[in-house]
Structure 1
Amino acid sequence: MIARRTLLGAAGAGAGLLACPPLLRAQAPKILKLSHQFPGGTLEEGDARDRICRKFAAELEKRSNGALQVHVYPNSSLMKTLAQFNAVRKGALDLSLVPLSYAGGEVVECNLALMPALVTNYDQAMKWRTAKVGEELSKVLADKGVIILTWIWQSGSVASRTHPVVVPPDVKGIKIRGGGREMDLVFQAAGGQVSSMPSSEMYIGMQTGALDAAVSASTSLISFRLDELTKNLTSGRGRSFWFILEPLVMSKIIFDGLPPEQQKLIREVGLELEPFSFEAAKRDDDELVKIYAARGAKIHDLTAENIETWKVLARDTAWKDFAGKNARTAELLKLAEQVT
């Protein structure tokens, strides 16, 4: 009798499971880890790049009914800054928001993402994703195991604890951080002493005198508080000789292992964040000027003529160097020049 009751109970339980809504029978959610180097905040406040990551996580969880969850790790708290791109390539990290120029030593084509005076305004930057250069760069990265989900461009400004840096001769004799190999080549040609470091280390560099000046995205110059050490700011609002691509990327290994409907959702959410990323970057360009001016820094805006002097130098140094690496880099540069 006991055995019969047990069997009947088990049968009843099975019938109950069959009657449950699919959501209740769903498997445990897929947890994706997203690491970046920037200061953490909230959905509404803090570094715009961290907010992009949090918005991506919140929207993905909402629209997947909890089946996809993204845990965001700011401040390189999960993984060191310069290790993140390689980890994404190998599937050891699911997602990252990373300056592509940091990966230039590993994937030479990534140096295009911070090519001096190649992209000089946001209207031009916004065209890359749908232009041939964007298509080809995406293929290069996919071949290396990385998928771009959100194209995030940021204008660069120059924070200096000495004199202003507006045209190439201003770099002569100073210690300066450019943020990427090709930018460093231009600064070296202008007579500067180049110091390579991620943006998260700029403050200590300026504080100790290891840096006289640093070029970085406006958002970084705000988040890393260089206003405390800056006497002259060359603003990147409106135009700049320094534009960087800092996309939200995903490991192709991880992406390919997901069901098609989840892949589609991830791409949709990533693309929908692009307008926010551009508007946030523009707001930070303006906010940077306000913050630094309030600290007493002198503000300098770049003219079209200023940028042309950087472009002339870049063509003979960084552009030439990049195009000479291989046939693919030469073609990428040619395609990029067509985006005006």
Structure 2
Amino acid sequence: MKAFLPIIAASVIALSATTASAKDLIRVAGNFALEHSSSLAMAKFEEELERLSNGEIDVNVFPAQQLGGAAENVQAVKIGAVEMMWVGTAYLTRTVPELEIVGLPFQFPSREQAFAIVDGPVGAALDEKLSREGMTSMGYMELGFRHMTNNVRPIETIDDIAGLKIRLQPNETHLATFRALGANPVAMDVKELYSALEQGVIDGQENPFAIINVAGYADVQKNLSNTGHFFDFISVAANKTWFDGLDADKQAMVREAMATAVAYQRQLAAEQDAAGLATLTEKGMTYTEVSPELASVLREKTAGVAAETKGRLDPELVKLLDGEIAKLGM
């Protein structure tokens, strides 16, 4: 892991050397495809911030793993080699384990309720924990409800999941969830996923419909099911030392531009999710709707995982989450 950091630092500095001396520069790293809603939102952030600052702040966005995979982006922002990133929240859980509390299985019935949690007191508490690890939270975008694909068989019953080698993000709650379902989960960075599927190293993966579509997984996967087992977020985070070093006016401009970008992304993400499913079936994937009976079994099998995760996290944070969920009537 350490070997790549000087390479990233040298690369981004070289790419921006001519502008860094003349104006404030923000380099933003991400691993999502160019067409993904989050990448389009970061282009919106670039446009908005350069407008708000009258060109005094220059933004360089590096999507599609241009500065390495998700785990590498996290490390680069932590040490200040890159100013900002947007990354699936699961990749931050090994730095801030408490983030697992918003990634429990079958936790949110709708995207609206999911965002009510991270935009409220729970999100503020998580932001404080990120701050202690040297990162300033800039907001939460939608990654969305995650669904299963595989090359072995359609998912019609719980037995169809048994033994499947499924790639997951490096999140302990996610891994435990799939073990509880009888699968053989494998933690793997997204940069390795397509080739692993293509070569048959793993049987399948799980992602929102939009990601499955723009990443081209339909070319290497046959079966698709709307399991919706997690609702996942994208964390936008900045190096805290860098952000704290900006003057108050520039900090306000960065936050205003990012708020615009996050709102734009959430709307676009919902549209891309619906369109993604339609496109995947058009490309020839076999789509199997999860029945109410199977949905009930999946919840029953994973209920203990949620309880175990809450048991090893900050009790005050768990109490806060339970209270906020109760207010929403979930």
Shorter-normalised TM-score: what interval?
0.7 to 0.9
Which residue among 146, 159, 162 is the counterpart of 2:149? 159
Distance in structure 2 (CA, Å) of the matches to 1:184 and 1:336: 26
Report the 3-state secondary structure (helix = DSSP H, G, I; strand = E; otherwise coil) of the residue aligned with 1:195. Answer: strand
Report the 3-state secondary structure (helix = DSSP H, G, I; strand = E; otherwise coil) of the residue aligned with 1:128. Answer: helix
Which residue among 261, 265, 273 is the counterpart of 2:249? 261
Report the 3-state secondary structure (helix = DSSP H, G, I; strand = E; otherwise coil) of the residue aligned with 1:118. Answer: coil
- Is the contact between residue 156 and residue 218 of structure 1 (CA under 8 Å) also seen in structure 2? yes
Q: What are the equivalent positions in structure 2 for 1:203-214 lying under 5 Å apart? A: 203-214=194-205
User: What amino acid maps onto 1:36 in structure 2?
Assistant: G
**Cα distance change of structure 1 residues 105 and 150 upon mapping to structure 2, 3 Å threshold:** closer
State the Cα RMSD in Å. 2.3
Number of residues of Structure 1 aligned to a counterpart in Structure 2: 306
Distance in structure 2 (CA, Å) of the matches to 1:310 and 1:336: 24
Distance in structure 2 (CA, Å) of the matches to 1:328 and 1:145: 22
**Cα distance change of structure 1 residues 31 and 166 upon mapping to structure 2, 3 Å threshold:** farther
Tell whether 2:60 aligns with 1:66. no
Q: What are the equivalent positions in structure 2 for 1:245-256 lying under 5 Å apart? A: 245-256=233-244
Distance in structure 2 (CA, Å) of the matches to 1:144 and 1:333: 21
Distance in structure 2 (CA, Å) of the matches to 1:128 and 1:147: 18
Q: What are the equivalent positions in structure 2 for 1:124-273 lying under 5 Å apart? A: 124-153=113-142, 154-165=144-155, 168-179=158-169, 180-235=171-226, 240-273=228-261
- Is the contact between residue 101 and residue 309 of structure 2 (CA under 8 Å) also seen in structure 1? no
Distance in structure 2 (CA, Å) of the matches to 1:166 and 1:139: 42
**Cα distance change of structure 1 residues 181 and 145 upon mapping to structure 2, 3 Å threshold:** same
**Cα distance change of structure 1 residues 309 and 267 upon mapping to structure 2, 3 Å threshold:** farther
- Is the contact between residue 185 and residue 318 of structure 1 (CA under 8 Å) also seen in structure 2? no
The 10-residue stretch of structure 1 (264-273 or 321-330) with the greater mean CA deviation from structure 2: 321-330
Query: Aligned-pair distance for 1:336?
Result: 6.0
Distance in structure 1 (CA, Å) of the matches to 2:92 and 2:155: 26
2:22 is matched with: 28
Tell whether 2:280 aligns with 1:292. yes
Distance in structure 2 (CA, Å) of the matches to 1:267 and 1:172: 45
Query: Aligned-pair distance for 1:202?
Result: 2.2
Distance in structure 1 (CA, Å) of the matches to 2:156 and 2:109: 14
User: What amino acid maps onto 1:164 in structure 2?
Assistant: P
Report the 3-state secondary structure (helix = DSSP H, G, I; strand = E; otherwise coil) of the residue aligned with 2:187. Answer: coil
**Cα distance change of structure 1 residues 130 and 157 upon mapping to structure 2, 3 Å threshold:** same
Report the 3-state secondary structure (helix = DSSP H, G, I; strand = E; otherwise coil) of the residue aligned with 1:49. Answer: helix
Distance in structure 2 (CA, Å) of the matches to 1:166 and 1:127: 32
- Give the percent of matched residue pairs that are identical in Structure 1 and Structure 2: 21
- Is the contact between residue 115 and residue 319 of structure 1 (CA under 8 Å) also seen in structure 2? no
Tell whether 2:300 aligns with 1:312. yes
Distance in structure 1 (CA, Å) of the matches to 2:80 and 2:74: 10
1:97 is matched with: 86
User: What amino acid maps onto 1:297 in structure 2?
Assistant: M
- Is the contact between residue 151 and residue 274 of structure 1 (CA under 8 Å) also seen in structure 2? yes
The 10-residue stretch of structure 1 (296-305 or 59-68) with the greater mean CA deviation from structure 2: 296-305
**Cα distance change of structure 1 residues 295 and 79 upon mapping to structure 2, 3 Å threshold:** closer
Query: Aligned-pair distance for 1:138?
Result: 1.6
- Is the contact between residue 41 and residue 262 of structure 2 (CA under 8 Å) also seen in structure 1? no
Report the 3-state secondary structure (helix = DSSP H, G, I; strand = E; otherwise coil) of the residue aligned with 1:164. Answer: coil
User: Residue by residue, what CA displacement relative to the aligned partner does 1:168-220 show, whole Å, maximum 9, x if unpaired?
Assistant: 44321111123232111011122211111123322212111122121012232
User: What amino acid maps onto 2:149 in structure 1?
Assistant: A
1:49 is matched with: 38
The 10-residue stretch of structure 1 (52-61 or 69-78) with the greater mean CA deviation from structure 2: 69-78
1:19 is matched with: none
Bigger CA radius of gyration:
1
TM-score, normalized by length of structure 1? 0.82
